[in-house]
A and B are shown apart, each in its own frame.
Chain A
């Protein structure tokens, strides 16, 4: 009998000398898209045409007017729904690996802030404001999580629906990260979070935002919901809170808050790349799409911006309106770059 070592040798010779030539490089539906049989990436193989398109057996009991997957669930029309590519090219593995890295950095920041007692540097007045503006945002993130799940559920084509469930995970992760900040602010208890929820439900300066979030829950067109949430609400809230509010915080010992919310700034940049790509591609396809997207954008922008003014005034006082105006200006410029009329 040959020794293990000899067998290993013969296997390696085996592999080198064998003529093992692939008979094809990828699946048929992908080769047809490429126009040739060439290797596809894991992003492409895990995403392209994965959702069923034909011969559904039964109409949904919960929406008998539609097929299970149905392009007519939105007013946006695309020749091919797989043009809505994710520039990050996420599939499940790369998504989770990316977020783990971001969360590790966040954990490091949490440790850093805790070890140095940095939260004690906050002035009492600003600390109260942080509790009232930052902590209720976990409910905004939770609303965004519901909307991302809705887009994954109702959307058409894996290209856009897979990143939608990743976004649902992100928004839940952000809601939980804010909750952790809340617990840290209150010496490891949940009292600050309870108070923040109370603010969310009753404080005057939060009611406009809460109404906008609740209004998104009943939007029927999933692409409108995509614009309302991923472009408008996220696009106004993140710059306003994590830039303008945060900049003001620096004057009141708020460096710890910047560190604890670094994840959100990094996430917003990443998330916007996806949201922008989807909207830009849909707008480019036809004037009808462009008009529709522009109208949705304008309506939600006006509503959301108005709702944020009382919050901004509470946090920044006289500077509140200017901060919302700045966020609006940024958002309008962004939308114009995506081809929307603003």
Chain B
């Protein structure tokens, strides 16, 4: 046979992907792809899509299998060697609880969401990229469950992560965030999760959890974090490609995309305020403050990104300045909420000790000593007097982000922020202008919110007493909830330390 010119990598990849698809004729394309147009996005030419990574399925299997072999070898050895004994402090485990109950179910949601996008987008390039991301996200959900499974054997607060995610008041914050994205159209989903979450905000979720794990001796979590990194970089590339592609396709897409950028920045930011609290309060060995992380990963990195996107007419997300200003307050306000409601949370709380308060003063010179130190000192005095402060009233929730309305007015940290909107004769409440704007943009959607406190008052959550509700959450009262220092977790840890001290003193002799 005559030698023919071999194909370049790009041509080869194109043949193996784009070449697979065809224009249907026995069924109309708008029936085959019924969700392609209802969001108002206009695509003139799917062939203009640039595949951000040219990964064929055989390479995918090979890379991923290799990573999985290594990861599970570490997990097995962590379990066999009781790796939990190497933690910096048992308080650290509470971040793992927050992660498994709040974040891992979102990985699963992302998996199903990318399967949806991977079926519904008419372009073959983005469809394949979305399907691979769907596989990746299932990987993340499963590896996280498998990693944390070992912690579940020794620590409380993890054993009902699935049941709780669908019910518990603060878990409705991450759950409603992802339900919101999943119930959007395929293009909005790609901007919400692919761009806003995976590109703009992801470092504010993963760096804190994974570095936090590394600083605090959690080898298992660090390993899955590292192992997920190459997946994440593919996801980021897809996210940026999607937004550029939509903006290049038609000028009419700009206002739609801008609205989504504004909305999903704010939705994502509100979920991340839980991470802010985790960084500033829950990590026994801290990596950096929330404020510092925001400066690096949003103000600087996000600033550069939005400068780059300016040529398409995109401006930075609305209320980004408000989120930046709130850095001085959100972590403290969130931790205060959880401290007051420790009886209703499936992780433990505590008051920062004096060394930790000094760290907070140093990191938050504008706000901590003035507004939050006095509060913690007062609560410490109450604790010392045997009168630990619990808030027994149920909080009002923001209809959009579903966080208790404990945030203060921009520029006025002593006044609680309240916003309201009226829709079909009912009044809805919001914690911020950002949340109110989102509601006002789609009141039909957000008026459906399953607000945990409303549901409790309507009798849909196991009963009228807080205790009934907590039982309905499948919470082990006195074990999953309340302060760290009175927890079975702490007791068990102290027992391990006593045994280890005894063994080392024998060994030393």
Contacts and interface: CB of A to CB of B under 8 A. Distances in A.
Interface of A: 9-10, 13-15, 17-20, 22-29, 42, 45-46, 49-62, 68-69, 91-93, 96-97, 99-100, 103, 106-107, 120, 138-139, 141-142, 145-146, 149-150, 152-153, 158, 161-162, 164-166, 168-169, 172-173, 175-177, 179-180, 183, 186-191, 193-194, 197, 200-201, 210-211, 214-215, 217-218
Contacts of B65: 93, 96-97, 99-100
Contact of B119 (A24, A100, A146, A201): A146
Interface stretch (B145-153, B274-282, B351-359): B145-153
Interface in B253-309: none
Interface in B456-509: 474, 488, 492, 496, 499-500, 503-504, 507-508
B167 A55 contact: yes
Contacts of A99: 61, 65
A153 B145 CA distance: 21
Interface string B438-472: 00000001101110000100000000000000000
Given A20-B85, A60-B183, A187-B3, A153 B450 contact: no
A111 to B, nearest CB: 14
Contacts of A186: 4
B185 A27 contact: no
B153 A25 contact: yes
A17 B152 CA distance: 22
Contacts of A51: 108, 112
A50 B100 CA distance: 12
Contact of B142 (A26, A46, A120, A190): A46
B387 interface: no
Interface of B: 1-7, 11-12, 15-17, 19-22, 24-27, 31-32, 34-35, 38, 56-58, 60-62, 64-66, 68-69, 71-72, 81-82, 85, 105, 108-109, 111-112, 115-116, 118-120, 127-128, 131-132, 134-135, 138-139, 141-143, 145-146, 149, 152-156, 158-163, 165-167, 172, 175-176, 179-180, 182-186, 445-446, 448-450, 455, 474, 488, 492, 496, 499-500, 503-504, 507-508
Contacts of A180: 16
- Chain B CB within 10 Å, residue with most, of A52, A59, A169, A217: A52
Main secondary structure of the interface of B (DSSP, over half): helix
Nearest to A180: B16
B119 A150 contact: yes
Main secondary structure of the interface of A (DSSP, over half): helix
Q: Which 5 A-B pairs have the closest CB atoms?
A: A173-B57, A93-B68, A46-B142, A22-B153, A142-B20
A229 B5 CA distance: 38
A52 B26 contact: no
Nearest to A208: B26
A169 B21 contact: no
Nearest to B113: A153
Contacts of B499: 17-19
A55 B162 CA distance: 12
Contacts of A197: 19, 22
A342 B238 CA distance: 46
Given A55-B167, A180-B16, A14 B131 contact: no
Contact of A176 (B3, B4, B38, B58): B58
B26 A172 contact: no
Nearest to B451: A57
Nearest to A142: B20
- Chain B CB within 10 Å, residue with most, of A55, A56, A57, A62: A57
B142 A91 contact: yes
Contact of A103 (B58, B185, B445, B492): B58
A179 B16 contact: yes
Contact of A92 (B143, B186, B449, B503): B143
A52 B61 contact: no
B38 A62 contact: yes
Contacts of B6: 187-189
A25 B153 CA distance: 6
A258 to B, nearest CB: 20
Nearest to B140: A92
Contacts of A42: 142, 146
B176 A57 contact: yes
B450 A14 contact: no
Contacts of A54: 166-167
B112 A58 contact: no
A58 B179 contact: yes
B139 A161 contact: no
